[in-house]
């Protein structure tokens, strides 16, 4: 069994340094929240597997090549002969203002179904990481996420759900209707402050959402606060961790880096404070470097940004 199993859609991201409407050079990158987390864990030395569907062409080959190069296991990936790669165009306006255009409707990745995840779930993992992007892709992807969360939680795998709301994929109402029931299988729920009411009633405040999640069986709720760090709620109370101060050049992927750091700490058996410190440390690497995952640290590099980490 692997340490971390995650599945979803990995995209080919075409990045422009300035406004897309002006044209010019685009650079090609791998993107996708779930594969970002898998790379983060692999960089830290954990066994991480990513599952999904890729196109049967150079673009699908590129996705697999990048993941393999990062040490992510891809043996559960299905190559789809009939559908194209999911693409995303990204234009950067400031360090934290980027605009994204997806071309992923009908893509290979969005055709993910229960059949694609059955074997990897049966093979087992210590942690299953899901994000709210996957169930937004299609009905079959939504069924796969729900089926896997239920099967994994039944077999004692820790299920982690990152709400990861994408307004370009679905409405808040649709997200809430799908993600709230998913939390029944999750031990760990991760959200930014503005995503919290997507796993509860519209407009519900943090303490209400947290109380309800903890009652439903969630053990830990992590609320990401960007430059203000994060809060962790458990039955024992609430802990706050400050962000590691860095100059942010690119905030895309910060959330995935935070998740990867937290889960790495969990896999290493760190206590809550240690897990939170690693989460903000890995998050800081992500925002201090360009790209969704390129700047993520190897284990020996953790100490570069965190005096508490021994590496």
Active-site positions read 256
> Are 125 and 49 within 8 A, CB to CB?
yes
Cβ 11 to ligand CKP shortest distance, Å: 5
Which of ligand CKP, Mg ion, none does residue 218 bind (CB under 5 to 8 Å by kind)? none
Q: Residue numbers of the site for ligand CKP (CB under 6 A)?
A: 11, 31-33, 36, 88, 133, 164, 166, 252-256, 292
The residues near 167 (Cβ < 8 Å, ≥ 6 apart) are none
Which residue's CB is nearer to Mg ion, number 35 or number 164?
164
CB of residue 41 to Mg ion, shortest distance in Å: 16
Give the shortest CB-33-to-ligand CKP separation in angstroms.
4
x/- mask, Mg ion, residues 157-186, rule CB under 5 A, reads -------x----------------------
Contact flag: residue 132 with Mg ion (CB under 5 A): no
65 forms bridges with which residues in the sheet?
Answer: none
In contact, 193 and 207? CB cutoff 8 Å = no
**β-strand pairing of 188-192 with 158-162:** parallel
**Residue 109 or 265 with smaller CB distance to ligand CKP:** 109
Q: Which of 52/255 has CB closer to Mg ion? A: 255
Residue nearest to Mg ion (CB): 255
Closest approach, Cβ 310 to ligand CKP, in A, equals: 26
Strand 188-192 and strand 48-51: the pairing is unpaired
Of 228, 207, 229, 210, the closest CA to residue 220 belongs to 210
253 binds, among Mg ion, ligand CKP, none (CB under 5 to 8 A by kind): ligand CKP
**How far is it, in rounded angstroms, from Cα 147 to Cα 161?**
14
Q: Among 109, 120, 255, 265, which residue sits at the site for Mg ion (rule: CB under 5 A)?
A: 255
Ranked by CB distance to ligand CKP, the top (closest) residue is 31
Q: Which residues bind Mg ion (CB under 5 A)?
A: 164, 255
């Amino acid at each position: 069994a692997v340490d971390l199993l995650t599945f979803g859609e990995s995209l080919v991201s075409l990045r422009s340094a300035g406004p897309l409407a002006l044209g010019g050079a685009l650079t090609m990158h791998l993107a996708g929240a779930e594969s970002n987390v898998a790379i983060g864990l692999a960089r830290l030395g954990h066994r991480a597997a990513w599952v999904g569907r890729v196109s049967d062409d150079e673009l699908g080959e590129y996705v697999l090549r990048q993941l393999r190069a990062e040490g992510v296991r891809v043996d559960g990936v299905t190559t789809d002969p009939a559908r194209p790669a999911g693409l995303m165009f990204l234009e950067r306006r400031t360090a934290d203002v980027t605009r994204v255009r997806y071309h992923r409707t009908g893509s290979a990745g969005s055709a993910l179904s229960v059949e694609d995840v059955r074997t990897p779930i049966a093979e087992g993992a210590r942690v299953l990481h899901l994000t709210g992007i996957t169930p937004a892709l299609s009905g079959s992807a939504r069924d796969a996420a729900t089926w896997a969360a239920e099967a994994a939680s039944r077999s004692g795998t820790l299920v982690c759900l990152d709400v990861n709301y994408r307004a370009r994929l679905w409405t808040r109402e649709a997200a809430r209707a799908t993600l709230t029931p998913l939390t029944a299988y999750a031990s760990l729920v991760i959200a930014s402050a503005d995503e919290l009411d997507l796993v509860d009633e519209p407009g519900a405040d943090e303490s209400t959402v947290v109380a309800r999640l903890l009652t439903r069986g969630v053990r830990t709720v992590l609320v990401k606060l960007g430059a203000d760090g994060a809060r962790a709620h458990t039955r024992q109370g609430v802990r706050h961790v400050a962000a590691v101060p860095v100059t942010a050049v690119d905030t895309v992927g910060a959330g995935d880096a935070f998740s990867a750091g937290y889960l790495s700490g969990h896999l290493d058996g760190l206590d809550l404070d240690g897990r939170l410190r690693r989460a903000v440390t890995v998050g800081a690497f992500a925002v201090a470097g360009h790209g969704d995952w390129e700047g993520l640290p190897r284990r020996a590099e953790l100490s570069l940004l965190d005096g508490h980490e021994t590496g």
